[in-house]
Amino acid sequence: MPAEHHNTSVETRLRGIALSPGVAIGRPCFYVRQGSQPDTQPAADSGHELRRLRDALQELVRQRELLAEDTAAVLGAEHAGIFETHCLMLTDETLRMQLAAMVTDQGCSAQDAVRQVLGRYQAQLSAADSAYLRQRSDDIEEIRQALLGLLERTVDCRYCREATACSIGHCELGNDHILIGREIAASLPIETDAHTTGFVVERAGPDCHAVILARALRRPVVGNIVNLPDAIPARAHLLVDGDRGEVIINPTAETLAGYRHISRNDSEVLQTSSPVAGLRVMANISLSSDVGEALAAGAEGVGLYRTEMELLVAGRQLSEDEQATRYSEVVRAMGGRPVCIRLLDLHNDKAAGWLPPVGDDPGAPGRDGHLLLGRPGLLRAQARALTRASVHGPVHVIYPMIASVDQFLALRRLFEESTSDLPASGLQHGVLFEVPAACLAATQIMEAADFGCIGTNDLIQYLFAVDRVSGDNAAHAHFENSNVLWELITDLARAAARSGKPMAICGELAGDPGMTCRIMRCGINAISTSPAHVAGVRKAAKDACAGPADR
Ligand code: PEP
Ligand code: MG
C-alpha cells in the first residue's frame, strides 16, 4: 500500500507527460497483481508442465478473443486489432515449439519457459530502432505477464482506501476513480468499468496500446509520474489534467474552480474554429502525434513544440534521423503554416534520468540554455534534425531559458556550426522570454533574434518565486492582481515592435480566454495554447475585446 506521507490537505502537483487529453477527477485506485503462489515454481514432471503451458495458452487466447469482441463493439474493429495480434502471437507454432522445448529439453517449469522465451523476444524487440518493433515488444511483455498470471494464479486487482480488493472490471464502491499503476496493460482501459475516469502511470508512451485505447475511450492519461504508487497518498483527491500532463493531489477549491468549464463531455470533442482578425492563434504540442489535434482545432501554426517530451517518452536520446522524422512529420502536416520547435528544455521537473543530474539552482551550469551549451552533442543532433525538417516548410527554432544575449548568440553559433554542411534552409531563431534577466535585456536580445515568444509558466515562477511544480496556487493570484507581469509583457511587446520582429505568448496564461483581451491590449497579437483552448481564445478575442466587461 502506498505510504501516507503527504499532508492530505495540501495541494501538490506532479508534473508528467500528457498522453491522453481531458480532465478527470476522482479518488486514487491502485492497480496491483496479487499472487497466491511464489514467483518461481520448481518444474514438476515435464508432461505436467506441458499441460499447464497448453492450458494457459488456450485460456489466454480465449480471453484475448473476448477482449477483441468487446473492443470491436465499443470502439470499432480497428481497435480490436491489438488483441487479435495477441491471439496470433499466442497461436504461433514457432513460439509454441520453443516454449515446449524449454520444458522438455531444459527441464524448465512452464513459467520459467514463458519467462525465458518471451523475455528473449522482448529484449530483442525493445532494442530495435523501429518504433513499430518496440511497440511489439510491449505486446510481448503484455502476453508474458498475462501467461505468468495464469500459471501462477495471480489476479489483477484494484484497491482504494475504502475497498481492499475489487476486481479489475468492477469497482465495489461505484465511485469515480483514477487508476494508478506503474504500467498499464492494453487490456486495462477495456476491462476497467466506467468508474475509472483516468489513468496515472509511470511507464507508458503515446503509442502504447493502452494509451491509444484510453484516448479512444476519452479517458485522460498522464505518464512519467515516478515512484508510483508511493507518490500518491491513498486518502487524496486527484485531478488528472491530460492536456497539461499534470496530476494535482488534493486540488483546492480555487484550483477546481479553474477547471469548472472543463467537464468530461467538453473534453470529448475538440472544437474547431476559424481564424479571427487581429490575433494569430497557434497550438502547443508535445509530440509529433499531437499535430492532428492542432489541425483539428484549426490552429494557424504550431507556436510551441516541446521536443523534450519526445525524448522523455522514448526514455532515451533520439538519433538525428529519429528527430528529423518527427519534426518533418509536423512541418509537412502543417502545410506551410509556421512551426515553432523548441530546443530541448530538460530542466528539473522534466529531467531525463539518462542525462547527468542537473543542479537545483536556477543559475547553476547545466540548466537549460546552459544545459545545451554544456552538452553540445545534444544540440548538434537536434540542430541538424531541425535543419533537415525545414526543407518541408517554415521552421522557427525557439531557444528556451535564455538569460542573456551572449547565451543566445553562443547557442545560435553552435547551431549554425553544426549545420554548415546542410543546405541553407531559411530557419528562424527566436528566444523564449521566461527568465526575468532576459526580459530586462529584451531590446538587445530582439536585435539579435529573429522573433520572440513569452513563456509565462517559468516567467511567473522566477518573477514571483512561485514554485510551479508544488503548485501552491499563488500563480493565478499573481497575474490577476499584479501589474508587474502585465507591464513586463507590454515592455516585451514594445521591444519586439521597435525591432520590427514578432512576439508571441505561449504559457498557460495564454490559454485562459479570460486573459485574451488583456494580452492583446499589451500589444501581443499571437497566442499559442493547447489545441483544446484554441476555439475559446478565438471566441474571447472576437466577443470580449469589444465589450465593457473584459479584464
Ligand atoms: C513556459 O515556461 O511558459 C513555457 C512555455 O515552457 P514550459 O511550460 O514547457 O516550461
Ligand atoms: Mg518554460
Over range 48-70, report the average pLDDT.
Answer: 91
Nearest to 31 by CA among 135, 128, 155: 155
Higher pLDDT, 320 or 42: 320
With 90 as the cut, is the pLDDT of residue 475 above it? Answer: no
Tell me which of 65 and 303 has the higher pLDDT.
303
Distance from residue 346's CA to the centre of ligand 2 (Å): 10
Q: Quick one: pLDDT at residue 4?
A: 39
What CATH number does the domain containing 236 carry?
3.50.30.10
Q: What would the pLDDT profile of 104-137 be if each residue is shown by its tens digit? A: 999 999 999 999 999 999 888 888 776 667 778 8
Same domain, 124 and 246: no
Same domain, 83 and 21: no
Strands (E), 35-75: none
* Residue 474 and residue 528 share a domain: yes
Looking at the CA of 308, which ligand is closest? 1
pLDDT given for residue 534 in this prediction: 94
pLDDT higher than threshold 90 for residue 366:
no
Residues 143, 167, single domain; the answer is no
For ligand 1, residues with CB inside 6 Å are 304, 306, 345, 434, 455-458, 506-507
Residue 455 and residue 399 share a domain = yes
CA–centroid distance, 401 to ligand 2, in Å, is 7
Q: Is residue 275 part of a domain?
A: no
CATH number where 346 lies: 3.20.20.60
Q: Which three cell numbers stand for residue 73?
A: 463493439
In a shared domain, residues 68 and 137: yes
Domain boundary among 198, 223, 258: 258
Q: Given this model, what pLDDT does residue 101 score? A: 95
So what's the pLDDT on residue 13? 92
Ligand 1 center to residue 306 CA distance, Å? 9
**Measured from the CA of 461, which atom of ligand 1 is nearest?**
2
For the chain, the domain total comes to 3
Tens digits of per-residue pLDDT, 132-170?
Answer: 677 788 889 889 988 998 898 877 777 777 777 777 777
* Mean pLDDT lowest among 3-7, 47-51, 256-260: 3-7
Nearby residues of 42 by Cβ (< 8 Å), 6 or more positions away: 109
DSSP letter (8 states) at residue 524? -
Q: Mean pLDDT, to the nearest integer, of 340-364?
A: 62
Which atom in ligand 1 lies closest to the alpha carbon of residue 400?
Answer: 6
State which residues form the domain around 469: 281-544
Residues 227 and 368 in one domain: no
Is the N-terminal amide bond of 229 cis, ω within 30° of 0? yes
Average pLDDT over residues 449-473: 80
C-alpha distances (whole Å) from 429 to each of 4, 426, 524 are: 47, 10, 19
What's the rounded mean pLDDT across residues 223-229?
A: 88
* Protein residue with its CA nearest to atom 3 in ligand 1: 455
CA–centroid distance, 181 to ligand 1, in Å, is 27
Cβ–Cβ under 8 Å, residues 218 and 234: no
**Same domain as 400, residue 341:** yes
* DSSP state string for 196-248: EEEEEESS--TTSHHHHHHHHTT--EEE---STTTTS-TT--EEEETTTTEEE
Backbone angles phi, psi at 180, to 5 degrees: -110, 125
Q: Residue 108's domain is classified under what CATH number?
A: 1.10.274.10
The pick from 290, 306, 460 for probing ligand 1's pocket by mutation, whose C-beta has the most ligand atoms within 8 angstroms, reads 306
From 243, 284, 345, the mutation candidate for ligand 1 (largest count of ligand atoms within 8 A of CB) is 345
What is the enclosing helix (H) or strand (E) of 198? strand 196-201
Residues 501 and 391 in one domain: yes
Model pLDDT, residue 459: 92
Cα 337 from Cα 118, distance rounded (Å): 46
Q: Which residue has the higher pLDDT, 122 or 500?
A: 500
Could you give the 3-state DSSP secondary structure of residue 220? coil
* Higher pLDDT among residues 502 and 66, named by residue: 502
Q: Are residues 444 and 297 in the same domain?
A: yes
Is residue 279 within a helix (H) or strand (E), and if so which, with residue range?
none
Q: Which of the ligands is closest to the CA of residue 457?
A: 1
Mean predicted confidence (pLDDT) in 383-387: 97
Strand partners, 409: none
Q: What is the pLDDT of residues 504-539, one digit of tens each?
A: 999 888 988 989 999 999 999 999 998 888 999 999
For residue 434, how far is its CA from the centre of ligand 1 (angstroms)? 8
Whether 29 and 196 have beta carbons less than 8 Å apart is answered as yes
- The average pLDDT across 42-49 equals 78
- Within a domain: 549: no
Tell me how far the alpha carbon of residue 464 lies from the centroid of ligand 1, in angstroms.
15
- Among all bound ligands, the one having the nearest atom to the CA of 284 is 1
